[in-house]
Amino acid sequence: MANSRSQPNTPIAVGFQGGAMLGGYLWGMAAQIAEHWTNAEICVGGGTSIGGATAISLVKGLTLADKHPVLSQKRLVARQTIDDFWNQFSSYLQEKQNHVLADSLVHHALSKAEDLMRCWGTASISMLRIPTGGFMEGMSDSFRHASQFLNPQNHSLVGYSIMGRFLESSKIFDFDQIAGSMVGLFLNATDVSINTNPFSAAPHQEQIFSNRQHNRLWLPITQQAVEATGNLPYVEARPTQINERRYRDGAFVSNPPLLQLAAEADRQGIRDVVVLRTRPTNSLADERIMPPVTQNHTRAFFNGKTDDHVMEIARAFPKMRIWVIEPSRLEIDKDAGTDMQKVEFDYSSATLAKRRTIGFNAAAAAQKAFNDPQNRASGVYIVSSEEVRYLNPFVDRFAIARDATQGTARSGRGLLDARA
């Protein structure tokens, strides 16, 4: 584990992509790396949404392992900590699923009744304002409340953070322990304080949460930070509020926060950055959508930004090797079927066990590629249990269909800001 090896190991940074309960793939990947990558030293971690929570469980496991007196058991401690988080979280979801459904119905009824009352109230007040010339002002307020009622973004599943309630009840993370860990950790969220629609094409500011303080704008990692990085519209009614700012899921700006992860790796002289994906390139899963999100939103929300950022950091740090570990394309396409909405939130034990195995196998294949002396060249390695593909970041590109609405890779300015 971190800074406790009797022999030199290769330091690595690990980033976890978000993806709701597709995070089951991350579970298997993280467990395999923690226990079986015996020649790797995990020094930096980071993630978005469920990937952020999984990254915290990994850092927690590494921190506990450093204190374990038996050297041979250290990696098992780290693996067990990841298993504990996922077992408890999935059990919580299965136990509370009926409560979530009931809460959803109550939330819809109350929130829509509140909006209708506001529309009716402001319309009535506007009529009373006719003698004083305030009719148009009152009607404007009425139309504003009516638009809120009709806005699909306000049609959320529940009015609270499911992850937040789990963390509050389980107390599974000690955030003081995370703050003092030798392993650097980075989470991100999308600031929607000004541009309130996270799906809009207008740029959003990325908020970084970290146990490192290289940048005065970064915030510490707390329970609210974990809630913010996974705050999805259509699931949670309101953004997570921290220090008068409002945040939604970090995947709208970066999934995971690779720019900060790579910058921290560079600071520590780390040459290998490992990216754990919940969706493979060229997957049918990228064509399945969770209504009412469009296909373009879905592509950009997951692999589009990740592809761009992987190639960006590979060009910015030409001596690095970027290992993109992804579940088998054949397996995940079979998993997706025709109902992506069901796939995203399928937390049954059987499904999670299958995804954990697929992720475990992908990371095992990546370990072989990582140790292969033929793979010493810098660049991008895309690994699944089926194949290993190499990309030269200055020549090649990800083989994934793009259209004009997705745009191209961001300029280096974002990376320079991350390194500041």
CA distance readout (Å), 298 to 16, 65, 247, 286, 381:
18, 38, 19, 7, 24
Radius of gyration of the chain (CA): 22
Reduce the secondary structure of 178-224 to three states and give it as a string.
HHCCCCEEEEEEEECCCCCCCCCCCCCEEEEEECCCCCCCCECCCHH
Helix runs in 5-73, H state only: 24-36, 50-66
Of residues 195 and 252, more confidently modeled: 252
Give the pLDDT score at 71: 67
- Highest mean pLDDT among 61-70, 195-204, 312-321 belongs to 312-321
Confidence of residue 279 (pLDDT cuts 50, 70, 90): confident
pLDDT digits (tens, 9 = 90+) for 204-233: 899 999 999 888 899 999 999 999 999 988
- Within 8 A by CB and 6+ apart from 64, the residues are 77, 78, 81
Separation between Cα atoms, residue 94 and residue 100, nearest integer Å: 10
Assigned token pair, 414? 């974002």
Q: Say which DSSP state 410 is in.
A: P
Contacts 24+ apart (CB under 8 A), 165-174: 166/88, 166/89, 166/92, 166/93, 167/223, 167/226, 167/227, 168/223, 169/92, 170/88, 170/89, 170/92, 172/57, 172/84, 172/85, 172/88, 173/56, 173/57, 173/60, 173/223, 173/226, 174/60
pLDDT digits (tens, 9 = 90+) for 143-168: 444 444 444 444 455 667 889 899 99
- Among the ranges given (46-55, 274-283, 407-416), the one the predictor scored with the smallest mean pLDDT: 407-416
Separation between Cα atoms, residue 347 and residue 47, nearest integer Å: 20
pLDDT digits (tens, 9 = 90+) for 318-348: 999 999 999 987 776 665 554 444 556 677 8
Residue with tokens 């990216």: 275
- Within 8 A by CB and 6+ apart from 160, the residues are 103, 236, 237
